[in-house]
Amino acid sequence: MSAFAGLCFRVHYGQETFQPQVVTEYVTLPPVEVKAPGEVIKEVPRELRAFESLDELKGWLETDETDKYHVMRLVIEPGMSGTFNIGDCCEDYAVRLQESALDDGYTMSVSIIWWNEYNALFTQKQCHHGEKHALNLTIIGNRVWYIEPQNDEIQFAGYLD
């Protein structure tokens, strides 16, 4: 259940009067489970491992459905009217793929690279000049691999040593 509270005030500056409004949303949170005194809460971390081969990574990506999702975000900036910027959110795909890998016991990170590096490596999708792009990174042996979470394209990023 949500409730709204408003706060209005006037600011006088010279001959002009400004009337900004601040609206705050109050959200009721679900109750928190309370443990008995002395009861220990222990979370056992999941055993994680790296992919053993590029074939294992490719096989896992074939079964993962992150690239099948369609994530859209509506961005409305102050003063905008009429036309809105609707675009996919690369970081949402990258985080979703990382979470999926972790759920299956694999290590994978989220990384951000500039448009020119991205466009030099990836062929199926291109970034616009000046943009940054979120994607995933995993290590197999001493090789680092980038993964485009929106289409599962894999590209060699470099060696660890």
**Residue 77, domain member (yes or no):** yes
**Residue 136, domain member (yes or no):** yes
The span from the CA of 110 to the CA of 158, in Å, is: 16
Number of compact structural domains in the chain: 1
The span from the CA of 16 to the CA of 5, in Å, is: 26
Q: What is the pLDDT of residues 21-39, one digit of tens each?
A: 555 555 565 665 656 666 6
pLDDT recorded at residue 129: 86
Q: Cβ neighbours of residue 54 under 8 Å, at least 6 residues apart? A: 140, 145, 154
**Residue 74, domain member (yes or no):** yes
> What is the extent of the structural domain holding 150?
44-159
Q: What is the pLDDT of residues 106-147, one digit of tens each?
A: 999 999 999 999 999 998 888 888 889 999 999 999 999 999
Please tell me the pTM assigned to this model: 0.62
The span from the CA of 160 to the CA of 127, in Å, is: 26
pLDDT at 159 over 90: yes
What is the chain's percent helix, strand, coil content, to nearest 5?
A: 20, 35, 45
**Residue 17, domain member (yes or no):** no
The span from the CA of 102 to the CA of 45, in Å, is: 11
**Residue 16, domain member (yes or no):** no
Opening angle at CA 111, ends 109 and 116, nearest 5: 150
